[in-house]
Chain A
């Protein structure tokens, strides 16, 4: 599939403008989050920016969404189904640590039962990734098999060649379909140019070996380390909410009148104390150390065993945002010590 072209920043913005005018949703990273672009002058396309505080997960898997509406009369109930509108969403300038997120989540939302709320949105996602040229102490994409130049999950991948030009790699059929109408803006390019950039990009050092971590977790379900972390962790679950792949949710009913309401699927987090609390009062993960152990195991062991993929993209958001500076990279890197 891989085909490489060159495109100028101005032409790229022209495409963006057209995309918006056609009524599609265009998302681009701001500082805190991926913003819906109303005016193309907002678009930064800055490869050296740090990851946004949150990923674009909420555009495929919203924080809160109704799965049905109900109306109660005397003893009858009427259910009203909901439909997800399959509107195209184009993400421009996503970090490589974000682009792979939907690929990872796909397994969970499709084993046996297919969650069409996720699937319909994911199907209409067009991901234009952007090489990443800046990392901080929390980044560890290289440790989990990604990199600042990974095209995994991107339909189109951009590499800045100079201030005004990008190498544009068409990675998937979906990407090709998207860019075809704009072929007038694409020119042939000497591919060594982009290779030079990607080969020289600064990369975070590999901090741990996933196989070793997987193995360690398998034999250290009981380990005093968990208690140590559990004593620090506040159970706030911000790590789950900023994570580009965490998918836990709750299902709750919300009445908005005596007779009507809706059933909501809301984000939830495995770090909350009542997450696994039984009605009887029994709680399998009753203390924080067990909940943190679940989080690390889920990411580096359970998901791997189940779906063959590490449940993490190495973006470092969970650690960057942690109010008590728990750093998952540090924990897994030093697990054996």
Chain B
């Protein structure tokens, strides 16, 4: 019997402490065949198990072009993320997936890519950034704007360092007012304000925008003002899910199932949905 609820087992190969409450797991499937055959696209998600505590939904944070492992990043919030946080290098977790749709990078060829991320929303964005960087010649300018509550809340510090070091990227990091330290040399300000200040050109540009709902809410008008069209802004919805398979019935917004029709939507699509997310 094909059991759609059966996860693959994976070993935690590495744990990266991104911030006081956010961790990244570098994972490798225990079964070699699964490792070889597991394919996904940037933006898809998976169900991660801490056996004994249940499953939780996060995006796959590593790029599909980097095949030896997959990574996920999670912030400690609920029961399952707490259980995952207690695990050590070498321990076993479960992974079901990949599920959902993805950022259509193939349709963005030849365009500028503007990445805007806030908080843990940087996880799905990072996957697309790394993917785009591995196909760098396919895209024109790649500006990146990342925001965090405070300096210690900035995650992917290592990746950001690498992005900043590249001459073919323009990376701006900002922290909320009051979240800066004495030695902070980045921007201070909320993401929407920093977007407005940097004013990236809207011409021939696709935007990948992920972050807390409030950030998206206030960034959208800024983008509109800068000339971006709703159908060029891609974002993700993060509804609660259990199955990831379109069956358990909790992630729907109207007749759209976030787990199957999403999690990636253009802002134009989101505007057409019943406002219940």
- Report which A residues bind B (CB closer than 8 A): 67-68, 70, 72, 75-77, 79, 81-84, 108-109, 111-117, 120, 221, 247-253, 255, 261, 263, 265, 268, 270, 275-280, 282, 284-285, 290, 294, 297-298, 301-303, 305-306
Decide if A285 touches B248 in the complex (CB within 8 Å). Answer: no
Decide if A68 touches B5 in the complex (CB within 8 Å). Answer: yes
Residues of A within 8 A of B91 (CB): 75
Decide if B260 touches A112 in the complex (CB within 8 Å). Answer: yes
Decide if A253 touches B240 in the complex (CB within 8 Å). Answer: no
Interface of A is mostly: mixed
A-B contact pairs, 19 of them (CB 8 A): A75-B92, A76-B92, A77-B93, A79-B6, A81-B1, A115-B245, A116-B2, A117-B3, A221-B274, A250-B248, A251-B54, A251-B55, A261-B51, A261-B52, A268-B250, A280-B77, A284-B239, A302-B252, A302-B254
Q: Quick one: which of B248-272 are within 8 Å of A by CB? A: 248-255, 260
Decide if B51 touches A276 in the complex (CB within 8 Å). Answer: no
With contacts A284-B277, A290-B276, A302-B252 taken as known, whether A255 is within 8 angstroms of B246 at the C-beta atoms is: no
A113 partner, pick from B6, B239, B247, beta carbons under 8 A = B247
Tell me how many residues of B have a C-beta within 8 Å of chain A.
45
B3 partner, pick from A81, A270, A279, beta carbons under 8 A = A81
**Counting CB contacts under 8 A, is B180 at the interface?**
no
How far, in angstroms, from A249 to B246 measured CA to CA in the complex?
11
How far, in angstroms, from A18 to B242 measured CA to CA in the complex?
43
Scoring A109, A275, A284, A285 by chain B CB atoms within 10 A of each residue's CB, the highest score goes to A284
With contacts A248-B249, A253-B54 taken as known, whether A77 is within 8 angstroms of B255 at the C-beta atoms is: no
Decide if B239 touches A276 in the complex (CB within 8 Å). Answer: yes
Decide if A270 touches B52 in the complex (CB within 8 Å). Answer: no
B94 partner, pick from A77, A108, A275, A305, beta carbons under 8 A = A77
Closest chain-A Cβ to B78's Cβ sits at a distance in Å of: 4
Closest chain-B Cβ to A259's Cβ sits at a distance in Å of: 9
